Structure 1
């Protein structure tokens, strides 16, 4: 089982070209499944059957795992068993009939338009001293809010990914799928200022083509971006504590509230399924309902 798990990990990383984070998540879930199977007396992946898979998911429920977690692990199991059958490591696809609980769709917290403006303004004022890190933070916040890209996509950007003539950025999303995302003039100005006046001050030998650099001159780390966003959000009175993904939610919500159609937002965000993008319609409807209840005398 350990050998097959190693081969599966290589398949996810090399053949499917998934991100390191996604590979770790899939492998961790499958490792838990195989451990459960071994405790039931199974000694080979070819012996996996639907009863074993259901038993594993049932155990997750008794451990108090959320519906979202159980649904994700069911997906991981189905992907794994399909690979086993496809590669001849198992006679049948044991997970083909495996169901999973419907995950609760929670409404993500987002910033209001004025709070998003206050966020950028506070970061800009803090960068008035001309510090390269401060100017970098402004550029990253502007680009995150303007494009709705993921934090990993932002950290992976190279200078050549920017097309300043068309004001678009080339992004490699999940599964290394490429898409082009537009951004506005405020983000363009902030990124230009960073590239011209601040990035050269942080460049070191190992900087390479990375668009955004950390304080030591290497490519910015996702954790550093998250910490920066939380720190800047804390400077906005009354704003919910959100990270980069919250800015992604905010960008999508504001696009829909501004009249963008769902398909366009799906393409901009790089969602494989329109159902994922439809979550944001629930966000806008919920906000409309709250406004109605507060304002209408017959609410």
Structure 2
């Protein structure tokens, strides 16, 4: 965690230290970007802080910093040499057409990083977020009287598929079983992967089961602590978006798997640095696993379940979708699943209810043209 060693924590809240430090890390990132932006944005910064989730704030501020750099490097709208020096008067020169050109530029552009040219290509979902970031900025600047007109109505629309139009990607039950068999036996792993698997198989199995059983978000699982679990009461606590705390019940499978990992594989506390002693899932270096490490682990095992390449494996969010579709497929109430998954709107959960996992497979199974042709030919030959 960036900067974690330089922070002396005096935590008097009910939140675990790692949750407080994670929040501090995100806020510090926001402040770091804000320091690079024009001073006339201070009111906008206050607006974001009070109305937008911290992770969204980081994304919005990053988009706006990119826009300011674009103004300096690609336009003649400002004479500033760095984003912080762009003046209020410069922003009043900006028209909707300039923003539309920026969004078109963002579809594909090149940046020099460490002496190497890096090509960035963005889809409509990313472009829509960048448009949203700039819309919020310009509306707030207009509301504060820092801009003479509201230019946002002239922004080009960006077509993003509705959730109901997107294909829901999730593992099917037989693929889940193949994946869990692989983490149990080490089958389908490369020789190098098996070396790591011998040291982490109990941990890996616990991670997969928590995703599959509760549909946890990646950051929710990554921040779990040993003290998050009360095995005598059969429950554990997670920290969700918008500062929500949720108590989850433990089932037998998860309890046995976690207990096995903690007692028989997890490194003893006395071998760990103070910062990581309470972390549930540890890397081989004895530190709390990063989101990236967990994401790569999930991609590896899901690729085995899907019988595809490691690169084509699923993300943790697809295991969240797997949990939702499996729960609904077992006849559970859509409202109960909504509560478990922490969906703000039941319409989100309904997308999983409408997604019939095997419907396409069943349909094409009844349309085996070539097999029917061969069977017909063989029948004719025997008659």
Which residue is 1:209 aligned to?
A: 278
| Structural mapping, 1:23-38, within 5 Å | 23-38=57-72
Which residue is 2:99 aligned to?
A: 53
Uncovered stretches (5+) of structure 2, i.e. residues with no partner: 1-35, 79-86, 110-120, 187-193, 369-383
Which piece of structure 1 moves more, 227-236 or 8-17?
A: 8-17
**TM-score, length-normalised on structure 2?**
0.63
Which residue is 2:221 aligned to?
A: 154
- The one of the two structures with greater contact order (alpha-carbon pairs below 8 A, sep at least 6) is 1
Distance 2:327 2:166 in 1: 19
Which residue is 2:131 aligned to?
A: 74
Which residue is 1:3 aligned to?
A: 38
**TM-score, length-normalised on structure 1?**
0.78
Structure 1 residues 13, 220: closer, same or farther in 2, change over 3 A? farther
Select the residue among 289, 297, 320 that pairs with 1:248.
Answer: 320
Say which one has the larger Rg.
Answer: 2
Distance 2:149 2:339 in 1: 36
Distance 2:206 2:364 in 1: 38
Which residue is 1:221 aligned to?
A: 290
Select the residue among 347, 352, 359 that pairs with 1:288.
Answer: 359
- Structure 1 residue 146, shift from structure 2 partner: 0.8
- Structure 1 residue 124, shift from structure 2 partner: 2.2
Distance 1:296 1:171 in 2: 46
Structure 1 residues 135, 162: closer, same or farther in 2, change over 3 A? same
The answer to whether the 8 A contact 1:131-1:198 is kept is: no
- Structure 1 residue 218, shift from structure 2 partner: 1.3
Task: Write the deviation string for residues 43-93 of structure 1: whole angstroms up to 9, x where unpaired.
Answer: 437525544433433444587742222222222223333554566655666
Select the residue among 78, 93, 109 that pairs with 2:169.
Answer: 109
- Other structure's SS at 2:280 match: coil
Distance 2:236 2:91 in 1: 45
Structure 1 residues 233, 50: closer, same or farther in 2, change over 3 A? same
In angstroms, what is the RMSD of aligned CA positions? 3.7
Uncovered stretches (5+) of structure 1, i.e. residues with no partner: none
- Matched positions, count: 293
